Amino acid sequence: MALEPQAQAVLAALAGMPPLDFAQLSAPAYRAMLAAGGGFAPGDPVASEEDLMIPTASGPIGARLYRPVIEGDDGLLPLTVFFHGGGFVSCGLDTHANLCRCLAQRARTVVLSVDYRLAPEARFPAAALDACDAVRWAASNSADLRVRPGALAVAGDSAGGNLAAVAAQQLRHSHVNIAHQLLFYPVVDCATEYPSYESMGDGYLLTADMMRWFKDQYFAAGADRADPLASPLAATDLTGVASATIISAEYDPLRDEAEHYAARLAQAGVLTTHLRWPGHMHGFASFLGALDAADHALTMAAQRLRDALHVQNT
């Protein structure tokens, strides 16, 4: 279908921004440009937000815990560990607070948003290792977090979807029992460019050139971009991975790899739901208040998450 009118309006509003020179662009300059941009609707009200630190093998990293408003006493709630997008280079707890609030409130889950290390200051596999360490820590500290033991999911958007998928793969044979992985338009193959890089790679917010720049920031020269720690789609065996909900966007250079990953998971016997959002571009779920589709997608994703975590504990 054609680009949805609200999405067209968002892209038109951004069209006046000067083009990025990726040959000269630095990560600090890119982060400063994002920080100067406008924000979106703050998301659903929640009961509380608490900043904390997570110990990892490389040192402590920040995190934020969101507790939903729940009427009555339902006992301990499940936990979802969330990883923000931003190309492994940018964004953080504040930029994705609206997504976390909506998922917490609508899925009836506590959400732990993880402030993993960013590139190029911390290159691959730093973010992937932080993600796995954070999920292990969360699984081992349910009492301190006041969440239901054994009721754990992972979630993320874009680069954060990559980290959620990596954690789901890497921890599947460990003591950590992940009930579900919720992936919004994830980066799942850092070594291959699929046809949507060409067909949707320019003019729809995220561009193919931007993705190439992100990868060049994340990977040192000579790094194996097909390592499953970087490219979950490159894993030869996907059996036993947590059930998945994967949301792709029609006008997104990452569309094809996300959809291929959904197909690979299903072929491996993993219960997988794939939803392609027509008429929208990469990152649309963050545009609360500007895109009706953001609200709809978060409601649907939260229901999938809630259902999976409920089944895990019945």
Pick the closest to residue 212 from 193, 229, 230 (CA basis).
193
Decide if 89 is inside a domain. yes
pLDDT of 101 strictly over 70: yes
Encoded tokens for 222:
């000579």
Residue 130 has pLDDT above 60, yes or no: yes
Give yes or no for a contact between 86 and 95, defined as CB atoms under 8 angstroms apart: yes
Share of the chain above pLDDT 70, in %: 97
Residue corresponding to tokens 């999920």: 135
Q: Which amino acid is at 26?
A: S
pLDDT digits (tens, 9 = 90+) for 18-63: 888 999 999 999 999 888 776 789 999 999 999 999 999 999 999 9
CA-CA distance, 189 to 299, in Å (whole number)? Answer: 27
Boundaries of domain holding 104: 5-15+40-312
* CA dist., res. 271 & res. 248, Å (int): 17
Predicted structure pTM score: 0.97
Tens digits of residue pLDDT in 299-309: 999 999 999 99
Looking at 90, 113, 142, 158, which residue is catalytic?
158
pLDDT computed for residue 17 by the predictor: 81
Domain-embedded: residue 26: no
Nearest to 32 by CA among 113, 101, 91: 91
Q: C-alpha distances in angstroms, 215 versus 119, 228, 293?
A: 9, 15, 28
pLDDT in tens, 195-238: 999 999 999 999 999 999 999 999 999 999 999 999 999 999 99
> What's the per-residue H, E or C state across 39-77?
CCCCCCCCCEEEEEEECCCCCCEEEEEEECCCCCCCCCC
Give the tens place of pLDDT for each residue, 254-275. 999 999 999 999 999 999 999 9
Answer yes or no: is pLDDT of 314 > 50: no
Q: Is residue 178 part of a domain?
A: yes
Question: 262 versus 314: which is more confidently predicted?
Answer: 262
Question: What's the domain count of the chain?
Answer: 1
What CATH number does residue 11 fall under?
3.40.50.1820
Q: Are strands 61-67 and 110-115 parallel, antiparallel or unpaired?
A: antiparallel
**CA-CA-CA-CA torsion sign (282, 212, 34, 138):** positive
Residue from 41, 53, 33, 50 nearest 294 by CA: 41
Mean local confidence (pLDDT), 120-129: 98
SS3 153: strand
**Structural domain contains residue 34:** no
| Whether the predicted pLDDT of 74 surpasses 70 | no
Residue 234 belongs to a domain: yes
Flag whether 187 is in a domain. yes
Instruction: Please give the pLDDT value at position 73.
Output: 57
Domain annotation covers residue 174: yes
pLDDT in tens, 182-195: 999 999 999 999 99
Q: What is the pLDDT of residue 311?
A: 61
Judge whether 48 counts as a catalytic residue.
Answer: no
